[in-house]
Amino acid sequence: MAPLAAARPATGQSAASATTPTLYSEEQANRGETVFAEACARCHGADLQGISGPPLSGPIFRQSAQFSKLTVSQLFEFVSRQMPYDTPGSLNRRQYLDVMAFILGKNGFPAGRSSLTEEKLATLKLMLFPAAAATATGGGKQ
Cα 29–chain centre separation: 11
pTM of the entire predicted model: 0.75
Q: Give the residue with greater pLDDT, 124 vs 120.
A: 120
Cα–Cα distance measured from residue 74 to residue 70, given in angstroms and rounded to the nearest whole number: 6
CA angle 102/104/109 to nearest 5° reads 125
Give the burial class of 65: count Cβ atoms within 10 A of its Cβ; 0-12 exposed, 13-18 middle, 19 or more buried: buried
Contact in structure between 68 and 117 (CB atoms under 8 Å): no
Superfamily name and number for 5-13+25-137: Cytochrome c-like domain (1.10.760.10)
Q: What's the chain's Rg over C-alpha atoms?
A: 15
pLDDT, one tens digit per residue, over 44-87 is: 999 999 999 999 998 888 888 888 878 788 889 999 999 999 99
pLDDT, one tens digit per residue, over 10-48 is: 334 334 335 666 889 999 999 999 999 999 999 999 999
Q: What's 92's DSSP letter? A: -
- Per-domain residue ranges for the chain? 5-13+25-137
Cα–Cα distance measured from residue 76 to residue 99, given in angstroms and rounded to the nearest whole number: 9
